[in-house]
Amino acid sequence: MARQHFLPFPRETETGDLRAEALSDLHHQLKDMYPLEAADWDLFQNCVRWETSAKGDLLLQPGQISDCIRFLHRGAVIYYDSVDEEQQLEQVGWIAQPGEMVLEIISFFQRCPTEVYLKCTTDCAFLTLSYTDLQTLYFASPAWNTIGRRMTEEYMLLMAERTRFHRLNSAQEKYRYFSERFPQALQLVPQRHIAAFLGIRPETLSRLRSRKIIS
């Protein structure tokens, strides 16, 4: 599993500023779930790690156990479980954009090998919490038990949303949904991967995007 830093590697002050920005953004998100006390937030900051990965890095691949929750601050990550050998293209099942969690939930909680790939489509930056550290937070703080449950509920809702999305019939419906739901991913994910996610050919996606621009 790759663990590469951005190239070129940012100056330490830039890295620190980016990490502080990510922590601030996540703090606001978590406070919406539960009113965190300063001591609870300090516990989290002592556990969380800062991670950067380069475009093309695999964060997870079949046979490995998903061992952490990543809170995506910059970049985008695609989920896929197979590759179309003829087109040499990942069959994208979901996309994570900034502000969202990145994990394979079944492998993470059941501690079993995954069948899923997680791949960065551009340089990415994350706050990362390991499974072990999450259990430590649960043990140390009732607040984190509540936040953990709500994060799990939120992720399960994402899985239900994924199922609803793949039941949409027309390419136009799927593209409309995608452009509204994943506005950042439009700029962060290659067109061929977006087309694979929508289940359409790249030229069909080009036509749909052209119509949107014209309209």
Which has more confidence, 155 or 70? 70
- pTM for the full predicted model: 0.84
Q: Which residue has the higher pLDDT, 175 or 57?
A: 57
What percent of the chain shows pLDDT beyond 70? 87
CA–CA separation, 65 and 111 (whole Å): 6
Q: Which residues pair with 135 in a beta bridge?
A: none
Residue range 104-118: mean pLDDT, rounded:
94
Q: What is the DSSP letter of 148?
A: H
Q: What is the pLDDT of residue 83?
A: 75
Residues 15-70: tens digit of each pLDDT: 678 999 999 999 999 988 888 899 999 999 999 999 999 999 999 999 999 999 99
Three state DSSP letters for 43-65: HHHHHCEEEEECCCCEEECCCCC
Element (H, E) at 169: none
Over range 104-123, report the average pLDDT.
94
Contact present, 171 and 165 (Cβ < 8 Å): no
Query: Is 141 in contact with 43 (CB distance < 8 Å)?
Result: yes
Lowest pLDDT segment from 29-33, 65-69, 169-173, 194-198: 169-173
pLDDT of residue 4 exceeding 60: no
- Which residue type, as a one-letter code, is found at position 2? A
- Return the pLDDT at 1: 36
Q: Architecture of 12-169 per CATH?
A: Sandwich (2.60)
% of residues, the chain, pLDDT over 90: 50
Q: What number is the average pLDDT over the span 189-195? A: 89
Quote the Cα angle for 80-84-87, to 5°: 125
Q: Give the Cα separation of 80 and 23 in Å (integer).
A: 28
Contact present, 127 and 49 (Cβ < 8 Å):
yes
Give per-residue pLDDT as tens, 78-98: 999 887 666 657 788 889 999
What is the pLDDT at residue 51? 96
Q: Do strands 124-130 and 49-53 pair parallel, antiparallel, or not at all (unpaired)?
A: antiparallel
